[in-house]
Amino acid sequence: MSITITHSRIPTQAHILPAPSRQLLIAFMSSDSLSSHIALGLVLSLTSIGVGYKFATVASSSSQATPPSTGVTNIPQTQVQPALSEPEVQTPEVAAEDDAEDIPDGDLDAVSAGWTEQCKMVLIVRTDLKMAPGTIATQLSVRCYKALTAKNPKLLRHWEFTGQAKIALKGKSEDQLLELQAIAKSLNLCARVATSRELGDNVRTVLAIGPAPVNLVNEVTGKLRLL
């Protein structure tokens, strides 16, 4: 019995084979012998094995070229800088002075300044003594600073924030210094008088008022001239 095979009966899977194998398949299927069918089966088996081996080789090379993702992103290490310590606030050294006053202080805590209000400290120096008041005025400023540090630190900080203005004014006599001191303390202003050891313990030379709001200080010293 002979079997006739036409091209229309070639399996559709044959189209995925290489061109030489496909031509060989057509030739074998067109023959009538039993041996041709056996050979056809061998060709199809070998071709399938070759195609499978090629696909496996390509897949293996692809997996080796691309390393598996671990899902972990490398984060660059940053050097942690140590926290900077705040600078120490140095309090000016206060000369050893007797803080006892002839006229007691008012309520130093009662004086306040507005947010943008200027403050100042005035130093009233006696001009009738013909002396250099620089060192005495410095020590006197420190005494006022010390007093307000304890009684009204908020006002002191405001004065520092607005520029720490210091004004030197002319004083005529010791009596004038004592009068201005009394007026200043009646307004709750900080007022300190310095004495000169060269001239005697009871000789008052410089009067410091403030720091306090400018308008309030001017009520006491507004008529005095600059030194």
> CB under 8 Å to 111, separation ≥6 — which residues?
152, 155, 187, 188, 189, 212, 213, 216
Q: What is the 8-class DSSP label of residue 203?
A: -
73 forms bridges with which residues in the sheet? none
> CB under 8 Å to 155, separation ≥6 — which residues?
111, 112, 113, 119, 148, 211, 212
CA 134 to chain centre: 41
Residues listed for the chain: 227
pLDDT of residue 77: 53
What percent of the chain stands above pLDDT 70?
52
Q: What is the pLDDT of residues 148-191, one digit of tens each?
A: 999 999 999 999 999 999 999 999 999 999 999 999 999 999 99
pTM of the model: 0.55
Q: What is the pLDDT of residues 90-129, one digit of tens each?
A: 433 333 344 445 688 999 999 999 999 999 999 999 988 8
